């Protein structure tokens, strides 16, 4: 028996053909590649949280309803009255649940999204057995509304994902264009507005959920400062959420995540203050980058900034040699040629990045 033969005979050919999801080793680097909040909890809150976690009954399963956590999310994070949330192990699991629920066995269902965008929309669609149709953004990285509407008319998608703001471009799509897309889907498709970066955009479709039965708003607490606990949530029409909940694995949120999230939401003003600091740093970093010759800076409503440089590979290699880790997105899509995505961080880390980046541009 050969392990290679075993793999060929059992693993799907499309899985064999793709690389794994790679996460770069950030040990010893200034880490500006993953859109994390660089600020830890204040010491007094970290001490209080440690005490709460110490009292968790690790020998018991979580309370399956997650009622207390969901109540806090609804109350603190702007979910409309009468609407509930569905929880996931990060937004990745929410995407997987949405696509699993909509992957019909009697016909090939379709997912549509603008591209470039978050890679897990397409990757999870593939794993669920759905077809993914990417609609290219315009050259200025704005949404091509007409092309999106044409794709909806042609493919009759079960799901349309709209990242708001978009990753990796950082921009907010035109709200009116998004509404046209939601309405064009009617009762044949679900529009999913992914608001992972809402704390930095401060614009949201969450209050508009009652207007559209086919709208789901998805968020994560990762960018708010809790990336390590892996918690995402989404809301939509109660009857729709009830159906989506059927594909959620039981006990998918562990007790440590639940307690940590409840504690953080009880102290949400600290995380909101950190988000405000990062919004200010985003403006300062954008201004500084704009002043560097040869650098094109794109507008951002997220906690990262997209820039275009003459040679992204060379710039990225220089930054790596100086222990600064950013994301080279130049090969993701043609409209991103020679682009780098830079996470906004603390004043100290932003200054260190700028020094290395200016030297890279002058090299």
Residue 287 lies in a domain: yes
Confidence grade of residue 224 (pLDDT, cut at 50, 70, 90): confident
Q: Strands 110-115 and 159-163: what pairing?
A: parallel
Per-residue pLDDT at 350 exceeds 90: yes
pLDDT at 125: 97
Q: Which domain holds residue 348?
A: 3-42+269-362
What CATH number does the domain containing 186 carry?
A: 3.40.640.10
| Residue corresponding to tokens 């980046």 | 357
- Whole-angstrom CA distances from 28 to 24, 245, 315 are 12, 41, 19
pLDDT at 236: 98
Residue 54 lies in a domain: no
289 and 262, same structural domain? no
Q: What angle do CA 247, 181, 214 make, to 5 degrees?
A: 35
| 252-271 average pLDDT score | 95
Percent helix, strand and coil across the chain, each rounded to 5?
45, 15, 40
289 and 354, same structural domain? yes
Instruction: Tell me the percentage of the chain whose pLDDT exceeds 70.
Output: 100
195 and 318, same structural domain? no
| Residue corresponding to tokens 């307690």 | 259
156 and 101, same structural domain? yes
- Whole-angstrom CA distances from 210 to 83, 136, 207 are 9, 30, 7
pLDDT at 315: 97
- Whole-angstrom CA distances from 148 to 41, 137, 163, 353 are 41, 9, 14, 37
259 and 249, same structural domain? yes
| 87-103 average pLDDT score | 97
216 and 114, same structural domain? yes
Residue 19 lies in a domain: yes
Q: Is 329 helix (H, G, I), strand (E, B) or coil?
A: coil
pLDDT at 21: 80
pLDDT digits (tens, 9 = 90+) for 284-295: 999 999 999 999
Q: Please tell me which residue, 235 or 225, carries the higher pLDDT value.
A: 235
201 and 130, same structural domain? yes
275 and 262, same structural domain? no
Residue 47 lies in a domain: no
pLDDT digits (tens, 9 = 90+) for 34-84: 999 999 999 999 999 999 999 999 999 998 889 999 999 999 999 999 999
35 and 164, same structural domain? no
pLDDT at 23: 78
Both tokens assigned to 205: 């479709």
pLDDT digits (tens, 9 = 90+) for 303-349: 999 999 999 999 999 999 999 999 999 999 999 999 999 999 999 99
Instruction: Tell me the percentage of the chain whose pLDDT exceeds 90.
Output: 92
| Residue corresponding to tokens 């507005």 | 193
| 128-140 average pLDDT score | 97
pLDDT at 62: 93
Query: What total number of domains does the chain contain?
Result: 2
What CATH number does the domain containing 315 carry?
A: 3.90.1150.10
- Of 214, 249, 267, the one marking the end of a domain is 267
Q: Is 194 helix (H, G, I), strand (E, B) or coil?
A: strand
């Amino acid at each position: 028996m050969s392990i290679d033969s075993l793999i060929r005979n059992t693993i799907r050919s499309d899985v064999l053909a793709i690389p794994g999801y790679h996460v770069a080793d950030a040990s010893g680097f200034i880490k500006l590649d993953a859109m994390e909040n660089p600020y830890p909890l204040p010491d007094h809150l970290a001490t209080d949280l440690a005490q709460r976690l110490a009292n968790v009954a690790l020998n018991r399963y979580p309370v399956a309803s997650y009622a207390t956590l969901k109540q806090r999310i609804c109350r603190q994070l702007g979910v409309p009255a009468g609407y509930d949330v569905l929880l996931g192990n990060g937004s990745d699991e929410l995407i997987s649940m949405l696509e699993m629920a909509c992957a019909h066995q009697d016909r090939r269902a379709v997912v549509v999204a603008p591209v470039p965008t978050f890679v897990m929309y397409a990757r999870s669609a593939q794993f669920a057995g759905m077809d993914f149709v990417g609609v290219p953004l315009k050259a200025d990285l704005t949404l091509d509304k007409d092309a999106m509407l044409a794709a909806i008319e042609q493919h009759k998608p079960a799901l349309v994902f709209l990242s708001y703001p978009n990753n990796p471009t950082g921009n907010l799509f035109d709200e009116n264009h998004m509404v046209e897309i939601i309405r064009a889907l009617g009762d044949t498709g679900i529009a999913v507005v992914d608001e992972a970066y809402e704390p930095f955009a401060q614009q949201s479709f969450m209050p508009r959920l009652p207007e559209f039965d086919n709208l789901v708003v998805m968020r994560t607490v990762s960018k708010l400062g809790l990336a390590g606990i892996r918690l995402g949530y989404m809301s939509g029409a109660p009857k729709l959420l009830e159906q989506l909940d059927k594909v959620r694995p039981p006990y998918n949120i562990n007790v440590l995540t639940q307690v940590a999230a409840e504690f953080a939401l009880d102290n949400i003003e600290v995380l909101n203050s950190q988000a405000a600091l990062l919004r200010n740093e985003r403006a300062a970093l954008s201004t500084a980058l704009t002043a560097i010759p040869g650098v094109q800076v794109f507008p951002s409503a997220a906690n990262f900034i997209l820039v275009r440089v003459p040679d992204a590979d060379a710039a990225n290699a220089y930054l790596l040699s100086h222990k600064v880790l950013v994301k080279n997105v130049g090969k993701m899509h043609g409209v991103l040629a020679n682009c780098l995505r830079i996470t906004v961080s603390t004043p100290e880390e932003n200054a260190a990045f700028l020094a290395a980046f200016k030297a890279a541009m002058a090299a």
